Amino acid sequence: MNIKFHIQDLNFYFNNNKVLKLINFEIPANIILGIIGPSGSGKTTFLRALNRMNDLESGSRIEGQILFDGEDIYSSDYDVVALRKRVGMVFAMPVPLPMSIYDNIVYGPRLSGVNDKKRLDVLVEKSLTAAYLWDEVKDRLKTSAMRLSGGQQQRLCLARVLAMEPEVILLDEPCSGLDPISTAKIEDALTELKKEYTIILVTNNTKQAARVSDYTAFFLMGDLIEVGNTGQIFTSPNKTETNDYITGRFG
Amino acid sequence: MRIHPRYTQGGAVAVLGGATILTLMILVFIIFFILEKGLPVINLNFLTSNPEDMGRAGGIFPTLIGTILLPLLAIIIATPLGIFTSVYLSEYTKETKVTKVIRFGTDCLAGIPSIIFGLFGYIFFVITLGFGWSIISGGLTLAVMILPTIIRTSEEAIKSVPKSYREVSFSLGATSWQTVKKVILPNALPGIVTGIMLSVGRSIGETAAVIFTAGSSLRIPSSVFDSTRTMAVHFYILAREGISAENAYGTAATLIIAVLIVNLSAYWLMNRFIAKRS
């Protein structure tokens, strides 16, 4: 199986605070990896380490290596802008940029220099369709994205990432503010998308991880407690902490 | 004894509302006072003819030219400098001791009395660089004077753009510059324009710094190296020297109307820009 990310002896600090402790594992391509764990366990920090979004925070520091397709993304000559084009991200809160739906979707492609109207049109329809939003917005692509509902906005954010044609999609609790119907639509979209993309999904909702992910990783207090097949993690976890968490004894 | 919230609420409304009404009344009174005395003097002839006998008679045409040219020059120089600096400070540097010192410095500069800038402009632009009392000396001095205001207001406007917009832009593979150009500046624009408008108002109304650097010649300037007189300076000289109270008020009224027109058109332009985007 093709390995997308090798994480080797990863420690992560914010100032003197160690938020990730000696993480080691591999993320295969074309799967959905669910990352579960209580708040403050380092899930989001781990996710944001994969496309170097933590760089934007002052006082962040990393030890160890993250290899993406065999290349160390934290080496000094690695092109961060190129990395973020290949590793897209959907945030917990839907953040449409204050521009039209169309302009939101083509934001990434335009940055890469795609200006051909026909090509952009195709991208817009393709990405919105893949994010299960096309039918709801196809008649009002030029209206402001701020007017969409929360659930629609989050699907727009997913479509915006898809329009960059990345290889990996990181999702940081993408459904935390959404109703069950919008959540179901996003989950359907993800299940379709894993054929072409590697998807890493941080979620506070263990049931969501059980529904959509192929592999599940359980983080607790900055430690990676356990990672494995979703079926195995949820039916016969190796660690008692994992068992306690998924059965709802804490968290 | 505890006062019932109904009464504290009533008291708060009275105090807050009272302060607002008082402020408005003072403002309206000043404008009304000036316009009442000045408007009767203003007519087309007053605006388009040259002053005679030091301004005792005739119009204020040369001071209109000076009032347009000096702030215009100052804004043209200070706006790009100020915006670039604020973008650099807020987007390209991390918050360190150095940026704090720079910020403290600009805050101090913004609070320095304008006559100090006038003195600096006189020594540096007029004498050292040999520009003499001229539009260029005055414009540069005003530019230096308003630069701190533009930097600080632009920086505040840039900071008020939600951090999440930056994150989204970076996560979609944008460089810092692309993020600044496509997301930050368009969204910070209203705040930046407000800062520029404040600066326009300040430089239109400036007297001390202008007398020191642009002089007070009543001739129509033929180049930027000629001395000129602005309306504010004209008003100051007419009133101070007791030359003509009537024409002084006429000048003051014209000045107020000019500032109003500049502000209104700037906000109109900005609203059109915002409406176009959304």
The enclosing domain of A20 has a CATH number of 3.40.50.300
Q: Report the gap between the CA of B178 and the closest CA in chain A (Å).
A: 7
Of the ranges A129-143, A174-188, B107-121, which one carries the lowest mean pLDDT score? A174-188
Whether the predicted pLDDT of A250 surpasses 90: no
| Residue A37, domain member (yes or no) | yes
Interface probe for A, chosen from B95, B171, B185 (most Cβ of A below 10 Å), is B171
| Residue A100, domain member (yes or no) | yes
Q: Can you read off the two tokens belonging to residue A246?
A: 């998924």
Q: What percent of chain A has pLDDT over 70?
A: 99
Which residue reads 């708040």 in tokens?
A39
Over the stretch A33-66, which tens digit does the pLDDT of each residue have? 999 999 889 999 999 999 999 988 888 899 999 9
Which residue reads 């979209």 in tokens?
A189
Interface probe for B, chosen from A91, A107, A147, A162 (most Cβ of B below 10 Å), is A107
Q: Report the gap between the CA of A81 and the closest CA in chain B (Å).
A: 5
Strand-pairing partners, residue A199, are: A32, A169
Whether residue A95 and residue B165 make contact (CB cut-off 8 A), yes or no, is: yes
Q: Can you read off the two tokens belonging to residue A126?
A: 């393709």
* DSSP element (H, E) containing A77: none
| Residue A251, domain member (yes or no) | no
| Residue A69, domain member (yes or no) | yes
| Residue A88, domain member (yes or no) | yes
Q: Can you read off the two tokens belonging to residue B115?
A: 């006559």
Whether residue B170 and residue A160 make contact (CB cut-off 8 A), yes or no, is: no
Identify which of A174, A184, A56, A196 has the alpha carbon closest to the alpha carbon of residue A127.
A196
At a CB cut-off of 8 Å and minimum separation 6, what does A135 contact?
Answer: none
Number of domains, chain A: 1
Please compute the mean of the pLDDT values over residues A169-182 and round it to a whole number.
Answer: 88
Q: Mean pLDDT, 10 residues at a time, over chain B (278 residues)? A: 87 95 95 92 89 85 92 96 94 85 90 93 95 95 95 93 94 94 92 90 91 91 91 92 89 91 86 74
Note down the domain range covering A210.
3-246
pLDDT of residue B178: 94
| Residue A139, domain member (yes or no) | yes
Whether the predicted pLDDT of A87 surpasses 80: yes
B162: chain A residues, CB-CB within 8 Å: 95
* DSSP element (H, E) containing A240: helix A240-246
| Residue A229, domain member (yes or no) | yes
Please compute the mean of the pLDDT values over residues A183-194 and round it to a whole number.
Answer: 90
Nearest CA in chain B to A164: B172
pLDDT of residue B245: 87
Q: Considering CB atoms only, which of A95, A111, A144 is closest to B174?
A: A111
Over the stretch A8-31, which tens digit does the pLDDT of each residue have? 999 999 988 999 999 999 999 999
pLDDT of residue B278: 59
User: In whole angstroms, how far apart are CA A144 and each of A99, A207, B217?
Assistant: 5, 34, 54
The helix/strand/coil state of A35 is strand
Identify which of B205, B218, B206, B207 has the alpha carbon closest to the alpha carbon of residue B49.
B218
Mean per-residue pLDDT of chain A:
91
Please provide residue B230's backbone torsions phi and psi, each rounded to the nearest 5 degrees: -95, 170
Q: Considering CB atoms only, which of B94, B166, B171 is closest to A84?
A: B171
At a CB cut-off of 8 Å and minimum separation 6, what does B217 contact?
Answer: B62, B133, B226, B227, B228, B229
